[in-house]
Structure 1
Amino acid sequence: MATTHAVTDRAIDAIKQMILVGELGPGHRLPPEKELAERVGVSRNSLREAVKALSVIRVLDVRQGDGTYVTSLAPELLVESLAFMLDLHQGSAEGQILEVRRLLEPVAVEQACARLGDEDFAVLEQLMVDISEHSSVEELVAADLAFHQRITSRCPNAYLSSMLEGLASATARARTWRGLTEDSAVESTLAEHRRILDALRAGRADLARVHTAAHIAAVESWIQRGADAG
């Protein structure tokens, strides 16, 4: 006899298949609960559990009194569940999350290079001007996040840029501690950002990729030194 979990998984797979074959698309309303449960071959309770699970990961949108709809399935919406999981692991997995950023973000920066315009460069320059040795740690981290997100938002791969936004937020705590404990944090961050920005402005996507990897690796090294000291 199938377990409740297995039956719910079957319902999830059935709804997923309906989306994959185009029977359901972004914004489409699911068939009535009774009809869909009979079609899938599960109880209405199991179907409700499947719908609940898919709504949590932002595939379905349950509208009370109206029905259940497929969301827009936009990359930034679907990646929210990843960001949520990363938030739960803050403080225990920053090193591993930074490693993922180091592997992915340089690629996004390289792809974004040709898509950055004068307005983007003006914003990036201003983010650097706004930071000085008198800036608070919170201001430094906010500027660092904005700097990276401005660049990666121009990456043509929407899934990659959305994923990196979640990863960047998940490592903000590590950067805050770096700012609190490393005397040269502001100077180092500005110098690293300057190398990335100059490479992008020069159209050197290959250099921007290298400098981005080095920038993230610097924070990784700081975390490792702290772990070794502890």
Structure 2
Amino acid sequence: MSRTQDVVEDVQRLILDGGLRPGDRLPAEKELASELGVSRGSLREGVRALVVLGILEARHGDGTYVTALDPATLLAPVGFLADLPGDHAPLHAVRAMLETEAAGLAALHVTAAHVARARAALDDMARALVEPRPEPARLAAADLAFHRTVAEASGNPVLAALLDALAGEGPRRQVWDEMHELAGDRTLEEHDAILAAVTARDPDRARLRMAMHMVAVEDLLATTSTDGPAPRRRNLAEAAPAR
């Protein structure tokens, strides 16, 4: 095991044991290196690794601090997995399970503010779909806003952070770049059904609607990857669901 790895594990142990708490400033470099029994060079390398992991935050001219250790920050590196090329079917399967459970929990914990944000995301997607050339970036942003709201409404910040890492801005934009625009209408209808179940506080139906949506996304991606983009529709406005 390298000395750098020793530093990483020792600082993590200090945090876990309560020697360092969220927001605490690390001791001076010389002092901490002596305490951990490593060289100052190894300490610097270890600190840099901990900064990348979101455990520490280096503030220019003010030292290094323990972060808030919130789930979103600590789980952000998981997003790299979603960015890797290759078969994403296993990743999608995990995401589908998490999204489905998030929808069920959201039906139990949703607030009026969550409903308003989710509805605003649906409205944004609907407006994007009636444009002559719907922009994938705009559709991806509305899609992300909807799913983030459902995940946050679950009341479980770890679940929400995992979903954001697995299907955040980058992966979601890639999906919309690959899917043909006809998928937008279908996605909007499915989102609307999910929100209706969540708003009705029906967890079983919310899980079912989300599970159906995730299967539909999987099917669309499989079709797009094998057949290429589908032809454009003639009338985007007519295809949009009634609001």
Q: TM-score range by the shorter chain?
A: 0.7 to 0.9
CA contact (8 A) 1:95 1:223 kept: no
CA contact (8 A) 2:183 2:220 kept: no
Q: Does 1:37 align with 2:33?
A: yes
CA contact (8 A) 2:7 2:42 kept: yes
User: Aligned AA for 1:105?
Assistant: E
Structure 2 gap segments, 5+ residues each: 229-243
Q: Give the corresponding residue for 2:108.
A: 114
Q: Give the corresponding residue for 1:216.
A: 214
Q: Give the corresponding residue for 2:143.
A: 144
Q: How does 1:195-214 map to 2 (within 5 A)?
A: 195-214=193-212
User: Aligned AA for 1:118?
Assistant: A
Cα distance per residue 1:68-107 (max 9 Å; x no partner): 2111111122222223x14642x53443432221021111
The 1:117/1:63 distance shift into structure 2, 3 A limit, reads: closer
Q: How does 1:7-26 map to 2 (within 5 A)?
A: 7-26=3-22
Question: Could you state the TM-score of these two structures normalised by the residue count of structure 1?
Answer: 0.86
Q: Does 1:54 align with 2:50?
A: yes
Q: Give the corresponding residue for 2:161.
A: 162
Q: Does 1:179 align with 2:143?
A: no
The 1:31/1:197 distance shift into structure 2, 3 A limit, reads: same
CA contact (8 A) 1:137 1:179 kept: no
Tell me how far apart the structure 1 counterparts of residues 44 and 123 of structure 2 sit (CA, whole Å).
Answer: 52
Tell me how far apart the structure 1 counterparts of residues 215 and 56 of structure 2 sit (CA, whole Å).
Answer: 38
CA offset at residue 64 of structure 1? 3.0
Structure 1 gap segments, 5+ residues each: none
Q: Give the corresponding residue for 1:67.
A: 63
CA offset at residue 111 of structure 1? 1.3
User: Aligned AA for 2:204?
Assistant: D
CA contact (8 A) 1:109 1:208 kept: yes
Tell me how far apart the structure 2 counterparts of residues 31 and 123 of structure 1 sit (CA, whole Å).
Answer: 43
CA offset at residue 187 of structure 1? 2.2
Q: Does 1:123 align with 2:121?
A: no
Q: Give the corresponding residue for 1:153.
A: 152
CA offset at residue 215 of structure 1? 0.8
Q: Does 1:189 align with 2:183?
A: no
Q: Give the corresponding residue for 1:78.
A: 74
Q: Does 1:6 align with 2:2?
A: yes
What is the aligned residue count? 221
Aligned-pair identity in percent equals 36
CA contact (8 A) 2:114 2:153 kept: no
Cα distance per residue 1:32-52 (max 9 Å; x no partner): 212221221211111111000
CA contact (8 A) 1:60 1:70 kept: yes
The 1:10/1:205 distance shift into structure 2, 3 A limit, reads: same
CA contact (8 A) 1:79 1:163 kept: yes
Question: Could you state the TM-score of these two structures normalised by the residue count of structure 2?
Answer: 0.82
CA contact (8 A) 1:33 1:44 kept: yes
The 1:168/1:19 distance shift into structure 2, 3 A limit, reads: same
